[in-house]
Amino acid sequence: MDLWLSPHDARVRTLRSEGELLCGVIRSPFGYCIAVTGGDYLLALRFVESREEGIVSLQSEWPKTPLRYSPEVERLIIRGFENPSLVPVLAIGTPFQLTIWEYLRRNRASMTLTYGELAKAIGRPKAARAVGRAVSANGIAFLIPCHRVISRGKLTGYRWGVERKRNLLAWELANRDPLVMPF
């Protein structure tokens, strides 16, 4: 089960101020991935250029919380690429961002949609630009599949690069069960 929390939620404040977070880094088919977990939930999954860049980035985001390396987090990242739905996420964002991310997380595998289609799907048909901002703010790469949101007829921006977005979509398409229809 996933958790969708506002930054002001008491559980988020507790995560930021108490204890430690576990982190791990792997080399994926799409470059280095760094992840952070708190308890049973994945809090962040980022594509980075190097292990060092990933650690610095996460320490700046969680400055008062010690990060400790854990091989279990690395196994969790690998499991996420094998079956994303098996990795519980704890997403922290505004109510609008959480609505977007939850919709994408529950969306069927290997299905792309435009920013406008996503806006309509959540009942906000005129909010395509706001959807784009929410998509770009997602800090849980791949497991909340913002890479599946495209502009009409073309690939455009992606927080971790358009080429990585193209590679993720191609990889998902190649690994899709041919007996499951994408519509």
Tell me which residues are annotated as active site: 146
Strands 41-48 and 3-5: unpaired
- The torsion angle over the Cα atoms of residues 87, 166, 114 and 76, rounded to 10 degrees, is 0
Contact in structure between 156 and 162 (CB atoms under 8 Å)? yes
Number of other residues whose CB lies within 10 A of the CB of residue 165: 21
Contact in structure between 135 and 114 (CB atoms under 8 Å)? no
